[in-house]
Amino acid sequence: MQIKENIEALEKEYQEKLKNIKDLKQLQDIKTELLGKKGKITSLFKLLKEVPPEKKKEVGALINSVKAKFEDILKEFEKQLTEKELEEKLKKSKIDITLPGAWVSPGAPHPVTATLRYISDIFVSMGFKIEEGPEVELEEYNFDMLNIPKDHPAREMQDTFFINKKGYVLRTHTSPVQIRAMLKQKPPLAVIAPGKVYRKDLDPTHSPMFHQIEGLVVDENITFRDLKGILKIFLESVFGKNIPIRFRPSYFPFTEPSAEVDIGCTVCKGKGCRVCKNTGWLEILGCGMVDPNVFEAVGIDTEKYTGFAFGLGIERITMLKYQIPDIRLLFSNDMRFNLQFKGI
Amino acid sequence: MKVSYKWVKEFIENFDEDIETVVEKLNETGLESTYEKFGNYIPNLTTVKILSIEKHPEKDNLLVCRATDGSKEYQVITAAKNVKEGDIVVLAKEGAVINGIEIKPVKFGSLTSEGMFLSFEELGIEIPSEGLFILGKDAPIGVDASKLLDLGEDYIIELEITPNRGDALSVRGLAREIAAIFGKKRTEKLPVVSILQENIPEIQVETDKLNRYRAVIVENVKVNVSPLDIQLKLIKSGQKPINNIVDITNFILLQEGQPLHAFDLDKLEGEIHIRQASEGEKIVALDGNEYTLNKNDIVIADDKKAVAIAGIIGGDNTKVDENTKNVLLEAANFDPSSVRKTAKRLGISTDSSYRFERGVDIENLPNAQDKAIELISSTAGGRAVGESDVHINVYKPKQVKLREKQIKRVLGAEIPKEKCSELLNRLEIPTEIVEDGTLSEIPAFRAYDLEREIDLVEEVGRLTGFNNLEETYPSISTENFNYPDYFKLEEKIRKFFISNGLTEVLTYTFSSEEDHQALGLPKPDIEIINYILKSQSLMRNNLAVSLINTLKENIKYGSKDLSVFETGTVFFDDHEEYRIGILLTGKFIDGYTFSKEKQQLNTTEKWDFLKVKGLINSFFEYIGIKNLNVNLPQLQFLNKYEAVKFLKGNTELGYIGKIHPKTAKNLEIPEDTYIGEFYLKYVSRDLKEPDHKPYIYDLIKEKEEIVYNEIPKFPSVKRDLAFEAEEDFSVGTLLDEIPKTCKLIKKVKLFDVYFLGNGRKSIAVSVEFNAGDRSLTDEEVNQMVEDLVNKLNEKFGLKLRK
């Protein structure tokens, strides 16, 4: 049967042609040659009328199967070639992924503000409220009401900057915010006051402007043991669980009893080094029970309420945390320093 | 204060704790102290007596001494000037190592020196002095000098007291404290003196700043070197021995805490007056300086002249010298704050003033003075011939009660009254047990410190040891578990700027007049009177001055690109403000754009006006402040053609701008520097905040809550329109106006501006219409566009470009 042979030959020929196909264009050509209006398979159907009726069914089926077969093959080829071409196109526009990205690089937070935030977070999460006060402060709040009378050696504990505004100084500590808080609000009170303070002092560990956080808790039945508890939580949050803590009796005019708190040296772990001056301890904050004279100054009943207060220098903790040797670096604003703190 | 540990131990019965424990306990109970070894043992040192001194035959500046150790004679050549025949000195023999050099016989010219006489410094003692250490006449010769001087044997305790603990500023006080800590007994050998009343000093008190003045005349003293024991104790305290009379006053000050002063009686004329200085009165003090006094200062004077500044320093005119025969020994007690005021004003601090300022034990005065007289008699051969004691303020001990319940309230621990009484008595505070606690009689040595119940709570607490109190955790009565709004805002702002590439700086709030002048800004209101540096003597009234200084510093460090911000305080006469400042210059993208087609790397994105403005618009959007107006700032240091201020209604919220080229040139900073400041918060100095114009913080507080609006169901219709305008017509005016013309205009977006070259420009905008409840038809939109174009034409003369 002529037609049958034609089909077989056709099949053979195109199987061979498809082997050498390179791109979608060639595929399209073959598709047209075979399945187009005048295509070779399409033309086979025209030959069908010359086929004897009894064979028509058989031959028809044969042509149909060839058509289906080629349609499948071509579809498969098309899929593969499309993918191949897409791949080539992508490859052509490939980027060297090791090139640095081109977007704004973030700035760096300042380590002092970051530390201040970090410490505030700890107290805020314990329920302390944040209070603020001005940096040009009434002498009365900065000294007198804090039980620091005029002509008392205690005034010399802090070297004060005096200003041209009568009755005011640059505050030497954040403690006057205690007075402000107690004048504004009756107990119970639990506040912290972060902010800038000023002392006439300049060397590797002292800066004329620096930051403190003051803490104050006033309520019935607040004791020195409570003070120890709160400070333990705080110090362990900052310096790690089981950091050695030592309370040394000391003197501040606005607290009594007063204490200085030391932690085991974070650099040498208590063995003794330059940072802790071979003592194994680092002085970290001052604290104590609010002196009754302070309560009296703000009109809080000393027989009903007790309270504790504490104050710490942010720069000191920042320097310990990031091992910064000189406080003046913190205020240098030298980008070679500041940019080291990206991502803190 | 530095003192010998051996000395302290002399005052405590049966006490031999090791120094480390003592110092640790002192720190734990409230006296901040450290210790160090006194010197180091040096072998081959001996004491010798100088037999003869001759000039070196060949070398002018050298002396040839013969000295004996009792059995052997040495020839020693020295350059020291202060040796006399009969002096006892320390000889470093062959084999001794001094300052790292081994002593060997050395030839000076034709003569050999068999060793070396030593000074303090060569003995390893930190006392500045010229010449040799001349030992007291009682020093034995031919003994191991290192041992004799306790080198490497004794310890020096250095005490740094808090202002309330003046009582500890003596060997006696320190011994009392240590005895109390260790439960030991303090011992004391009381002086035995007899004072004849043959020549009684006349004393006139003409001030109320004096509590007691006791003067004793001692005749026929022989001024000489002090005995070794006194010398050694002074040396260990870092003091240079001078002569027996002066040394004894210093010795008693250290031992008893009572300042003493010895006048050369023969230089005093007439009576002793304790009086106010006259205005402008001058005195040359023992330190060689002349001080000018005023009438708030107290002086000791004779009939003619001031002879000492009370409680601070003696006068040169009546000082004890080697020719002194008779002395007037003063022991006084002055008002602490008066001494402090004078000492502070004159800028002097002496061992005496340091103690008076902190309160001296008035009751120990005669005891201390008598000890001095006893020593003078025994070492200088004097005779006390007259005493006068003006005791104005006799100490009346105060009774202070300590309730058990108060200890519990403050310390949180139960300490029974029996224990309290024991501890207080150990501190030599006479205390008895009463019904609900203890009753103490405050002794004079703690008069300045212990006045109230709480003071005794502290005493009991510190001796019990704060470290022995167990922690408790109070339940904090507060409803607050969040940051106040301002802190949240500030944090949000910090995050915004940091994520946008700006680095946070922290500048000093100090500034100078020049800083402000350079920007044409008014001089700040707040001035520091006692500034450290003139350039840091004013409290800034803006952040620009600080940021410009930051830029200048960084230029010095070699960096031309800077993108920084700060949230900081600025100061005015009656209030303060928190502001945020930015300074931007140079590149802000630390990378490049990559173009494959062009085969190139493009490496810069630099700050320019619109980028800075875009940053600030985006800042305001980020913190939720909408509908801002802009206007031109009146700031001299900005280029007015590239500067803008931001307003909400009529309230100014801040400005940004490019620095004026003239300012840039003056300050030597780049011309493409952009500066901005935003007004965050008003800070009041009064407890109540007065009315003030709103700040960004106030707007945030009042800002409306965001409520969800339904997403439009019907699509918007967009039309692109290009208008032709005069070249200096402001685009912002057009963008603001368009939405006002028709309610259905939901959005206007600028997409193109270009100059047509004939003094005119084209402004292309895309306008979005939406009715919300239905689709708009083309006809409707066409009508609205036509209305819009007409209105804009009417108002601004704009024409639609085809």
Task: For CA atoms A261, A264, A268, A270, give the dihedral sign.
Answer: positive
Q: How far apart are CA B178 and CA B12, in angstroms?
A: 8
Q: How far apart are CA A78 and CA A46, in angstroms?
A: 27
Respond yes or no on whether the N-terminal peptide bond of residue A257 is cis (omega within 30° of 0): yes
Tokens of B722: 């290009």
What mean pLDDT is reported for chain B? Answer: 93
Residues of chain A in contact with residue B164, where contact means CB-CB under 8 angstroms, are 154, 251
The candidate with the shortest Cα–Cα distance to B432, out of B418, B443, B448, B414, is B418
pLDDT score for B592: 59
If you average pLDDT over residues B395-415, what whole number do you get? Answer: 95
Question: Tens of pLDDT along A74-117?
Answer: 899 899 989 998 999 888 878 778 877 778 889 999 999 999 99
pLDDT score for A236: 95
Determine how β-strand B45-55 pairs with β-strand B155-160: unpaired
Q: How far is CA B355 from CA A202, B341, B359, B360, B511, in A?
A: 27, 14, 6, 6, 39
- The percent of residues above 90 in pLDDT, for chain B, comes to 82
Q: Are B189 and B10 in contact (CB under 8 A)?
A: no
pLDDT score for A10: 82
User: Per-residue pLDDT for A34 more than 80?
Assistant: yes
Shortest Cα distance from B772 to chain A (angstroms)?
38
Q: How far apart are CA B161 and CA B751, in angstroms?
A: 74
Per DSSP, helices labelled H in B109-265 are: 145-148, 171-182, 228-236, 244-256
Q: Searching chain B, which residue's CA lies closest to the CA of residue A232?
A: B471
Helix (H) or strand (E) holding B108, with range, is: strand B106-108
If you average pLDDT over residues A207-233, what whole number do you get? Answer: 96
Shortest Cα distance from B309 to chain A (angstroms)?
18
* CATH number of the domain located at residue range(s) A111-341 in this protein: 3.30.930.10
Inter-chain CB proximity B508 and A208 less than 8 Å: yes
Inter-chain CB proximity B684 and A331 less than 8 Å: no
Amino acid letter, A118: Y
Task: Locate the domains of chain A by residue range.
Answer: 2-92, 111-341
User: Per-residue pLDDT for B479 more than 70?
Assistant: no
A&B contacts, CB < 8 Å: 267
Strand partners, B401: B439
Q: Are B383 and B377 in contact (CB under 8 A)?
A: yes
Q: How far apart are CA B648 and CA B631, in angstroms?
A: 11
Tally of CB atoms within 10 A around B598: 8
Burial of B145 (0-12, 13-18, 19+ CB in 10 A): buried
Residues of chain B in contact with residue A150, where contact means CB-CB under 8 angstroms, are 337
Strand partners, B101: B98
Shortest Cα distance from A238 to chain B (angstroms)?
18
Q: Are B254 and B3 in contact (CB under 8 A)?
A: yes
pLDDT score for B480: 67
Q: Are B222 and B200 in contact (CB under 8 A)?
A: no
Phi-psi region of B304 (alpha: psi -120 to 50; beta: other; left: phi over 0): alpha
Q: How far apart are CA B608 and CA B657, in angstroms?
A: 10
* ipTM score assigned to the predicted complex: 0.88
Q: How far apart are CA B601 and CA B587, in angstroms?
A: 15
| Tokens 């100090």, located at residue | B510
pLDDT score for A190: 94
Amino acid letter, A91: K
Shortest Cα distance from A294 to chain B (angstroms)?
12
Tally of CB atoms within 10 A around B490: 20
If you average pLDDT over residues B744-765, what whole number do you get? Answer: 90
Length of chain B: 802
Q: Are B69 and B48 in contact (CB under 8 A)?
A: yes
Q: Are A272 and A189 in contact (CB under 8 A)?
A: no
What are the residues whose beta carbons fall under 8 Å from the beta carbon of B479, sequence distance 6 or more?
none
- Give pairs for A87-96: CB < 8 Å, separation 24+: A93/B596, A95/B594, A95/B596
| Mutate which: A224, A236, A303, A306, vs B, most B CBs within 10 A | A224
pLDDT band at residue B603, thresholds of 50, 70 and 90?
A: low
pLDDT score for B113: 94
Q: How far is CA B519 from CA A234, B404, B539, B662, B664, in A?
A: 45, 65, 16, 10, 10
pLDDT band at residue B598, thresholds of 50, 70 and 90?
A: low
User: Per-residue pLDDT for B151 more than 90?
Assistant: yes
Determine how β-strand B272-276 pairs with β-strand B399-403: unpaired
